[in-house]
Amino acid sequence: MSYSKKTNKFPEFLRSKCLFLLVVMVSCSPPEEPVKCSTKNSNCTITNSYGTFADRAVCRAGNVAFPTTEQELVSIVSAATEAKRKMKVVTRFSHSIPKLVCPDGQDGLLISTKYLNHVLKVDAEAMAMTVESGVTLRQLINDAAKAGLALPYAPYWWGLTIGGLIGTGAHGSSLWGKGGSVHDYVMDMRIVSPAGPKEGYAKVRVLNERDKDLDAAKVSLGVLGVISQVTFKLQPLFKRSVTYVTKNDTDLGDEAMTFGKLHEFADIFWYPSQRKAVYRIDDRVSSNASGNGLYDFTPFRPILSLALALLRSTEETQESLRDADGKCLSAKLVTSTLRTAAYGLTNNGIKILLIAGIIFTGYPVIGFHDRLQSSGTCLDSIDDSLITACAWDPRIKGEFFHQTTFSIGLSVAKSFIEDVQKLVALEPKALCGLDLYNGILMRYVKASSAYLGKQEDAIDFDITYYRSKDPMAPRLYQDILEEIEQMALFKYGALPHWGKNRNLAFDGVIKKYKNGGEFLKVKNMYDPSELFSSEWTDQILGLRNGITTMKEGCALEGLCICSQDIHCAPSKGYLCRPGKTFQNARVCTRVKIRN
Ligand SMILES: Cc1cc2nc3c(=O)[nH]c(=O)nc-3n(C[C@H](O)[C@H](O)[C@H](O)COP(=O)(O)OP(=O)(O)OC[C@H]3O[C@@H](n4cnc5c(N)ncnc54)[C@H](O)[C@@H]3O)c2cc1C
Ligand SMILES: *[C@@H]1O[C@H](CO)[C@@H](O)[C@H](O)[C@H]1NC(C)=O
Ligand SMILES: *[C@@H]1O[C@H](CO)[C@@H](O)[C@H](O)[C@H]1NC(C)=O
Ligand SMILES: *[C@@H]1O[C@H](CO)[C@@H](O)[C@H](O)[C@H]1NC(C)=O
């Protein structure tokens, strides 16, 4: 079990459950390992926590190594460098959707950070904390809190590792301070990269805030080497007060511009087809304010597999019958349930399954930051029989989705929002499907000095929607979703989240980064033989063509933007057409066939 005795209260809980379950001959099983090997640690396949990469690539590696110390890590990188082997870092859960983790070929080396999971130093005086890169966000938050410290902004899901989340530029939501991205709170970093024979084929580079290289290493997509340790600048632990307010979305464009400046932890759930937006009014309060609130976000809780299967079957049926009304009905059910359950907030942390709404005594919810900033109790799912699981666990019939996630400069975000509203006016039911995944999550991020970080203050839009198990199956209102995706990327120059999205979002992406060239220089210096690079990382960094592939049905899963009908699904009536409001878009539209 990766959580140390001191880390938090869950191990006790887990241990007793596991013991109990052992008696009935079931063992304790959190999500599956992303790496599976046919012989001990060799001849491996690698996947992500959803069991499927954006383009459904099947990835293989020669073997996997599990260093437990930086010293072991150095000797592993050294041996592989001498042997000129391709390498990639794999984390305990592997949450990224693009195939960043895949080494080229069949016999690359995977270096797992599963056991590089120690908190090394917590300095309450200096308000700094040093962790190994495989430490999860959950561990970091808990250990910091024990020392009276806090990471001010973080992703909302605590199953991510430090190496993975900074490597892909992950963030929470804030325009305050240095903004919502975790990598902007990095003070020092130790990174192990290849070296020549004179240096023993590997070296540890120690970077601090005075090194320009740190701006490359912060969001480095795994191509500079293995991040071994990271030191964060923290703050004294504080309390927050959270209130959700639901309004119609008529003035969302204007509101979104100012809301993030008014509230430190502001974010917005937007349900465009319901014409509603839920504003999170969330600020620091005095630490003597009373309250011991807890945010255990409902969609990240363990969910009954039977319920997940039912929801998925319903959605599959709605998709196959093109039942837009059914989806809009489901959407209302989902969002009103979440709202009643206060999205998983409780005033005192007392959780009662299924009746969370009843014990919720109302807003505001006040509590310590560490109990509100992030969650993910489904990682503690306790049974091999998978009675409960994370909603997207590939071992059960559950959620399967695309995630289109991008940030749009604050100055033009209003115009983007209004463009989406125009589409909804044309096709009112088109975006009901998003609400089954709690709508569009809008979060604030700030310009970063990281070369591959945000280029300007922006709103990040997180859009999750149905993905068919069949890659050749078109989806309901596919055209509208594709138009929004292309409008964001091309009309508004949006930056895709490095750890999410479909392949097309990364076509030409490096041109959107003014210091992309600086990043490549550092990459050349750290790893001149490109052992940590792959075809995919070369493609997203603009060093190689071929991000999109034109073939039958390629637009259905975002492998291309259609230019001919065959890229859609002509036999099912989906043809390649211009967008409805963004004429430059090319989308798969269902053309009504007259009989
Ligand atoms: C339920 C859920 C909620 C999420 N919520 C948010 C959110 O609120 N905000 C947000 O921004 N994102 C969010 N994400 C996306 C997430 O931030 C990214 O997918 C994240 O990068 C994954 O982290 P990971 O530890 O799983 O890394 P992986 O996906 O395993 O790795 C990502 C990349 O980093 C590399 N890497 C990992 N560790 C190291 C290391 N030590 N040294 C060098 N390279 C390394 C890997 O090789 C890979 O290339 C969420 C994802 C999920 C599944
Ligand atoms: C490697 O694993 C695959 C299955 O993943 C198997 O078919 C193959 O025989 C294995 N090869 C060796 C050399 O073990
Ligand atoms: C939206 O709410 C505002 C008040 O906040 C109101 O003036 C307006 O009429 C509402 N619009 C719709 C379409 O209901
Ligand atoms: C908290 O303390 C401040 C002074 O530090 C005081 O003004 C305020 O009333 C206190 N609030 C509560 C809720 O006790």
| pLDDT per position as a tens digit, 505-550 | 999 999 999 999 999 999 999 999 999 999 999 999 999 999 999 9
- pLDDT value of residue 7: 38
Q: Which ligand is nearest to the CA of 276?
A: 3
Residues of the chain above pLDDT 70, percent: 92
Among all ligands shown, which has an atom nearest to the Cα of 59? 2
Over residues 63-67, mean pLDDT: 98
* Prediction pTM value: 0.93
What's the gap in Å between 501 CA and the centre of ligand 2? 31
Could you tell me the distance, in angstroms and rounded to a whole number, from the CA of residue 369 to the centre of ligand 4? 18
Of ligand 2's atoms, which has the minimum distance to the CA of residue 36? 5
Q: Note the CATH number of domain 1-30+238-506.
A: 3.40.462.10
Task: For residue range 94-109, list pLDDT tens digits in order.
Answer: 999 999 999 999 999 9
Which protein residue has the closest C-alpha to ligand 3 atom 8? Answer: 250
pLDDT at residue 279 greater than cutoff 80: yes
pLDDT at 163: 98
Check if 289 has its Cβ closer than 6 Å to any atom of ligand 4. Answer: yes
Nearest residue (CA) to ligand 4, atom 2: 288
558-577 per-position pLDDT tens digit: 999 999 999 999 999 999 99
Between CA 209 and CA 231, with CA 118 as vertex, the angle to 5 degrees is: 10
Q: Is the CB of 246 under 6 A from ligand 3?
A: no
- The arithmetic mean of pLDDT across residues 281-303, rounded, is 96
Q: What pLDDT is stored for residue 10 in this prediction?
A: 36
Mutate to test the pocket of ligand 1, among 2, 50, 91, 300 (most ligand atoms within 8 A of CB): 91
In 467-584, beta strands by DSSP E: 495-496, 574-578
Q: Is the Cβ atom of 39 under 6 angstroms away from ligand 2?
A: yes
- Report the percentage of the chain scoring pLDDT > 90: 90
Q: What angle do CA 49, 454, 239 make, to 5 degrees?
A: 75
239, 241, 285, 288: residue to mutate for ligand 4 pocket, most atoms within 8 A of CB: 288
Burial of residue 197 (CB within 10 Å: 0-12, 13-18, 19+) is exposed
Choice from 33, 47, 160, 205 to test ligand 1 binding pocket (greatest atom count within 8 A of CB): 160
Nearest CA to ligand 4 atom 8: 288
What is the rounded distance in angstroms from the CA atom of residue 329 to the CA atom of residue 372? 30
* CATH 3.40.462.10 intervals, the chain: 1-30+238-506
Mutate to test the pocket of ligand 1, among 165, 183, 495 (most ligand atoms within 8 A of CB): 165
pLDDT surpassing 60 at residue 5: no
DSSP string of 232-269? EE-EE--EEEEEEEEEESTTHHHHHHHHHHH-TT-EEE
Residue 592 confidence (pLDDT): 79
Stretch(es) of the chain classified as CATH 3.30.43.10: 35-112
CA 481 to ligand 1 centroid distance, Å: 24
Report which residue type is found at 208: N
Where in the sequence of the chain do the CATH 3.30.465.10 domains occur?
Answer: 119-237
Ligand 1 cavity residues, CB under 6 Å: 49, 88-89, 91, 93-96, 100-101, 113, 133, 155-157, 160-161, 163-165, 167-168, 170-171, 221-222, 226-227, 497, 499-500
Would you state the pLDDT for residue 383?
Answer: 66
Q: Which CATH number fits domain 35-112: 1.10.1040.10, 3.40.630.10, 3.30.43.10, 3.10.20.600?
A: 3.30.43.10
Q: What is the pLDDT of residue 564?
A: 98
The predicted-structure confidence for 191-239, as pLDDT tens digits, reads as follows: 999 999 999 999 999 999 999 999 999 999 999 999 999 999 999 999 9
Ligand closest to 63 (CA) is 2
CATH says 119-237 is which class?
A: alpha beta
Task: For residue 510, give both structure tokens.
Answer: 């490096």
Instruction: Tell me the C-alpha distance between 163 and 453, whole Å.
Output: 15
| The residue to which tokens 């990459």 are assigned | 523
pLDDT tens digits for range 445-468? 999 999 999 999 999 999 999 999
Q: How far is the CA of 100 from the centre of ligand 1 (A)?
A: 10
- Nearest ligand to the CA atom of 425: 3
pLDDT in tens, 353-386: 444 445 677 999 999 999 999 999 999 876 677 8
In this prediction, residues 124-144 reach a mean pLDDT of: 98
The answer, yes or no, to whether residue 122 has pLDDT greater than 60, is yes
Q: How high is the pLDDT of residue 360?
A: 74
Please tell me the predicted confidence (pLDDT) of residue 97.
98
pLDDT of 111 > 60? The answer is: yes
Question: Residue 574: what pLDDT?
Answer: 97
Structure confidence at residue 21 as a pLDDT band (50, 70, 90) = very low
> How many whole angstroms separate alpha carbon 475 and alpha carbon 433?
10
Q: Which is more confident, 356 or 315?
A: 315
The answer, yes or no, to whether residue 580 has pLDDT greater than 70, is yes
- Taking 80 as the threshold, does the pLDDT of residue 18 lie above it? no
CB burial of 412-436 (b: ≥16 within 10 Å; e: otherwise) equals: bbbebbebbbebbeeeebbbbbbbb
The pLDDT assigned to 593 comes to 64
Rounded to whole angstroms, how far apart are CA atoms 19 and 17? 5
The per-residue pLDDT for 386 is 86
- Coarse DSSP helix, strand, coil percentages of the chain, rounded to the nearest 5 percent: 30, 25, 45
pLDDT of residue 433 exceeding 70:
yes
* pLDDT value for 361: 78
